Amino acid sequence: MRALSMKFATQSGDAAMNKWLYIALHTTVAAAFIFSLQRFFLNATLESSLLWAVVFGGCAAMLAYKQSNR
């Protein structure tokens, strides 16, 4: 029984890669969305749009990391 529980407790390489791919995709999409929103719809400056994209991308990465560890 202990061996079975240890098998499920550890992740295989594919599952770990899938987790990091999910986090990267979530980060990229959130940053692209907020950059487009700021730059093209709200007519913000390039510097401001990039700053918001980095901030939202970081928040999205943190959120995706927490969700993937549930």
Q: What is the pLDDT of residues 5-50, one digit of tens each?
A: 445 455 566 666 788 999 999 999 999 999 999 999 999 999 999 9
For 5, half-sphere exposure in the C-beta direction (CA atoms, 13 angstrom radius) is 2
pLDDT band, very low/low/confident/very high, at 57 (cuts 50, 70, 90): very high
- What is the pLDDT confidence band of residue 70, given thresholds at 50, 70 and 90? confident
**Short-list 11, 52, 7, CA closest to 34:** 52
Sequence spans of domains, the chain:
13-68
What pTM, to 2 d.p., does this model score?
0.73
Distances (CA, A) of 7 to 12, 19, 48, 69: 9, 18, 47, 16
Q: Residue 25: name the closest of 13, 33, 35, 15 by CA.
A: 33
> Does the pLDDT value for residue 59 go beyond 80?
yes
